[in-house]
Amino acid sequence: MPEDQYTRQNPVDQHPKPALDGGNTQYPGKTNEMTDRPDHGEQTYRGSGRLTGRRAVITGGDSGIGRAVAIAFAREGADVLISYLPEEEEDARDTAQLIEKAGRTAVTVPGDIRDEAHCKAIVDRAVSELGGLDILVNNAAYQMAQPGGILDITDEQFDRVLKTNLYAMFWLCRAAVPHLQPGATIINTASVQAYQSSSTLLDYATTKGGIVAFTKALAEELADKGVRVNAVAPGPIWTPLIPTTMHEEKVKSFGSDTPLGRAGQPAELAPAYVYFASQESSYTTGEVLGVTGGKPVS
C-alpha cells in the first residue's frame, strides 16, 4: 500500500519518475493506455469532512488533475459533477465510480465547453441534479506544443486554445454566479506558464496569464457577495495531456528542470483545491497557489 499524504517523506523521491514514453499518442489520451498511469490519490487520499454537503462542478474531471480533485472532494464529503469530452467517456466512468465509492453522488456531463450553451447546461445540471452549486473548478484546458513557435500556430489552434481555456471559464462563471451563495468558491487552474512562459506553448501560456488576471478581477467583484475566487498554478504534472500534446524529446525530460527534479503527480495537486474550496481558506481570495516542484510563480 502506498504511503498516504500525511506520512513524512522526501519530496524528491516521494513519487518515482514516470515512464515518460507515455503510451498515448492521440489527444486527448486515455489514462488506461498510459505506460505509467498517474497517481490520482486513489490509494492515499483520506478525507476529514471538510466539504461535507457541498456541491461541486469540475471541468476536465475525467482524468489527470480533475480526477484527483474529484476523488479528494468526494472523500471530503462533496457531491461532484464532472464535465469532459465525449471521447473521454471511459475515463469519466472510472472517475464517477471513485466518487460513488466514497459515498457521494456523481453526475457525468459529456460535451465540448467551447460551446457557450453547453457551459450553461453544465451549471443547470449541477443545480437540478445536485440541488445547488457551491464550488466551481475551471480545470479543463487544451494545449498543443509547437516547436516552431508563432509561425506554426494556426488560427484553428489559437481559437481552440482560447475557447477552451478562457471563453469556457468566462461562460461557466457567468452562468454559475447567480447560483452561488455566501461561502461558495470558484477555483481556476492557471499554470506556471503564466509566469515562466515557453515559446513552444505561446498560445497556452497567453491563456494562463489571462486566467490569473481574470481570477484577481473576479475575486474583487464577488468579495462583497461572500464568494471567493482563487487559482492553482500547477507546474509539470504527469497527465494524459502531456504525451499527447508534446513532442517526444520534451516528454522524456518532462519535469526534470524543476528544483525537485521530477514531474508532479495529480494527487499532489488535490490538497490545494481542497484548501481553496474549504473554510480553511476563508480569508483568502484573489490568490494564486503554485504547485510547481519549486519553480517560482511570481
As annotated, the active-site residues are 204
From the list 60, 117, 272, the residue with the least C-alpha distance to 187 is: 272
Q: Which of 189, 266, 194, 175 is nearest to 229 (CA)?
A: 189
Which of 79-104 are b and which e, b meaning 16 or more Cβ less than 10 Å from the residue's Cβ?
bbbbbbbeebeebbebbbebbeebeb
Radius of gyration of the chain (CA): 18
Nearest Cα residue to 36 out of 257, 250, 236, 263: 263
Q: Cell 490520482 identifies what position?
A: 40
Contact 102, 159 (CB under 8 A): no
- 8-state DSSP, 273: H
